[in-house]
Amino acid sequence: MKNKALIAISLILVLALGLFLAVNEAQSRSQAAHIAALQAQAKPLEERRLELTRELTRLENSYPLLTRGIATEELLFLDPVPELLDAALPLMEEYGYPGMLVFSEGNFPGDPGALSKDAFAQLQKKGWSWCVLCSGSLEPEEWFPHLDSLLEAHGLKRPEAIYFKDGAFLLKWEEPVREEGFTAVIHHGEHSLPLISTDLGEDLWYSGALPWNFDGVKTEIQDLSQVCGNLCFEISLHGDAAFNEASFVNMLDYVASFVEEDDLHVVTLDGAREEHQEALDQQEQVLEEYERQRASIAEQIQTLDVQIQEIYSRWKQD
């Protein structure tokens, strides 16, 4: 009898265990199906969130490029005389670049041996500009009246820029230049001024100048294009910036490689000022649109995070 009772109990335990396992398996299957259903609901939301995250990354990476601006350079002719311009002008026109003429006492249009007034007028029609040279031999209070008398004698109005001879731009000139209404100073790095100007939104520009053919000119042009600043290159008959046709063509070719990529524009100082001001204005618009898009994407991601969390919270509750 005892054996039969043990057998009966064993059968009951086996049946109970089987029933428990069956119920547990059914519950597991039901839970798995429930989880799968929740995951199916969350999947399109998670995929959309991933898309938005990638879109936000692309937007953030593109912002520096959209606000990068443009680099500008000017080609300054320190000796605006027929001997130099007759050789350089055809090359400049071939590349489509304007130049800037630096006039000084005895070298204004119409002076003996200088550029004729008609030739000067033709260059202006072609987009060329000009500035005046200051050697620093006179004090500021003497130089400005002297300049005005020279300009009046040649029928010219004040230009926007003053080109200071190397080493001539002393601190005593800064305020008088601004007070006299000039908008640009061309210097040679005096007072540790950077040769490549990047603070181009100021009322007075400080643009550096270098000989067009110095040893590191190509590196300087590369740096210029990267920081999107402004720099002047000097061309003359003699000295460090002496004109040589073959070398000049080589330099223009190198500059053209940057111009073709829209990384550099060859302009006058007036043109450079306009371009950099336009770039600053565009940067403000780009920043406003960037912030709008960024906030919109971030808000969408936040909304999706809430929706996804709600779906998976139902799993924990169940």
**Is 198 within the bounds of a domain?**
yes
In angstroms, the CA 95 to CA 130 distance is: 20
Residue 83 lies in a domain: yes
Per-residue pLDDT at 2: 55
Hey, which bits of the chain come out as E strands?
A: 71-77, 100-103, 129-134, 161-164, 184-187, 205-211, 230-235, 264-266
pLDDT of residue 32: 65
pLDDT along the chain (318 residues), means of 10: 58 53 54 71 81 82 62 95 93 96 95 94 95 96 97 96 95 94 94 85 84 91 91 93 94 95 92 81 74 86 85 66
In eight-state DSSP terms, residue 192 is G
Tell me, what's the pLDDT at 7?
60
Q: What is the pLDDT of residue 16?
A: 52
pTM over 0.75: no
Q: Per the domain annotation, does 35 fall within a domain?
A: no
State the pLDDT at residue 24.
55
Tell me if 39 is assigned to some domain.
no
Show the domain range for 180.
71-272
Strand, helix or coil for residue 171: helix
User: Is 285 part of any domain?
Assistant: no
263/260 Cα distance (integer angstroms) = 8
CATH code at 100?
3.20.20.370
pLDDT the model gives residue 21: 47
* Number of domain units in the chain: 1
Tokens of 186: 């061309």
Task: Note whether residue 85 is domain-resident.
Answer: yes
Token pair of 148, please? 């005005």
pLDDT of residue 80: 92
Contacts of 172 (CB under 8 A, 6+ apart): 139, 140
Q: Are strands 205-211 and 230-235 parallel, antiparallel or unpaired?
A: parallel
Burial class (CB in 10 A: 0-12, 13-18, 19+), 130: buried
Q: How far is the C-alpha of 202 from the C-alpha of 183, rounded, in Å?
A: 9
Report how far apart, in Å, the C-alpha atoms of 203 and of each of 179, 185, 206, 211 are.
11, 11, 10, 26
Q: Is 48 within a domain?
A: no
pLDDT at 255: 96
Residue 38 in any domain: the answer is: no
80 CB-near residues (< 8 Å, 6+ apart): 101, 102, 103, 107, 109, 114, 115, 130
Q: Is 63 exposed, middle or buried (0-12, 13-18, 19+ CB in 10 A)?
A: middle
